[in-house]
Amino acid sequence: MHSASFAISPNDLWSLIGTAQSPQIVDVRRDEVYASAPGLIPTAQWRDFSQVAFWCHELDPDRPIVLSCKQGKELSQAPTAYLRSEGYDARMLTGGYAAWSEAGLPLVSKAVLERFAPSRPSLWVTRRRPKIDRVACPWLVRRFIDAQARFLFVDPAFVPAVAQETGAVPFDIESVELSHEGPRCTFDTMLKLFGLEAEPSLQRLALIVRGADTARPDLAPEAAGLHAVSLGLSAQAGDDDHGLLEKGFMVYDALFAYLRFAAQERHNWPAKVA
């Protein structure tokens, strides 16, 4: 059943991005506009708006869809209406990319995205038995870069060879672009490269990840807790790296929600009665 609302505001869409409830986001700007644009709404994938009848079958019918054109006019109205007529839960982004930018919401660098993830699903590879940075980075990729991304976990010595054989993007190992830079983690590196480091909640999350991953609990009060929970999940998971990701994503979803919506909330006991 399609949603009652035909449209969604930029701020309402942003509140869903970075969560497990994020919709499928389809960029339907004209080809020439898309080609010259510097950024994409996180996880957006470009499609030719006039070919919606052909590509709609590639969408997940069980997940909501949001379509965005340049200004929220006919290029998103038409395919949204078509998808809704086919029973999809589809909405258009009010005001399109123009309204998204006016609201000061983040865009992913298209040039970097096309360099690391030119097709979907993208493929990434790193060392097995992830704990902190190697869970945080896949979370960032899935929630903000490519919702369909796949991850390979292999013995450390074989990461470069597997990357070469499969075309996967290697990360969080020495001598690759997506790795630590001095005291900063691979998570920091990815935020900077993809143009997301200025987003306040992600910026704060990066500090927590860095503190947990580099034995610097003084960097953020939440770092020690993330370190403890991450090592506990790893001890439970053993070699089930993908099972660990599933549980770890819940931790990062919760941390990101806390930073966005609940960081100012305080609890005391006994509770004060008004």
User: What pLDDT digit, counting tens, does each position of 5-24 carry?
Assistant: 999 999 999 999 999 999 99
What pLDDT sits at residue 270?
A: 76
pTM of the predicted model as reported, rounded to 2 decimal places: 0.95
* Helices and strands of the chain, counted as H and E runs: 12, 10
What pLDDT sits at residue 265?
A: 83
CA distance 188 to 52: 37
Please state, rounded to an integer, the average pLDDT across all residues of the chain: 95
pLDDT class of 232 with cuts at 50, 70, 90: very high
The pLDDT of residue 262 is above 80: yes
- What phi-psi label fits residue 180: left (phi over 0), alpha (psi between -120 and 50 degrees) or beta? beta
Name the residue type at position 253: D
Q: Which two tokens stand for residue 220?
A: 């953020």
Domain locations along the chain: 7-105, 110-262
What pLDDT sits at residue 274?
A: 57
Q: Per-residue pLDDT tens for 177-225?
A: 999 999 999 999 999 999 999 999 999 999 999 999 999 999 999 999 9
7-105, what's its fold?
Answer: Oxidized Rhodanese; domain 1 (3.40.250)
The pLDDT of residue 2 is above 80: no
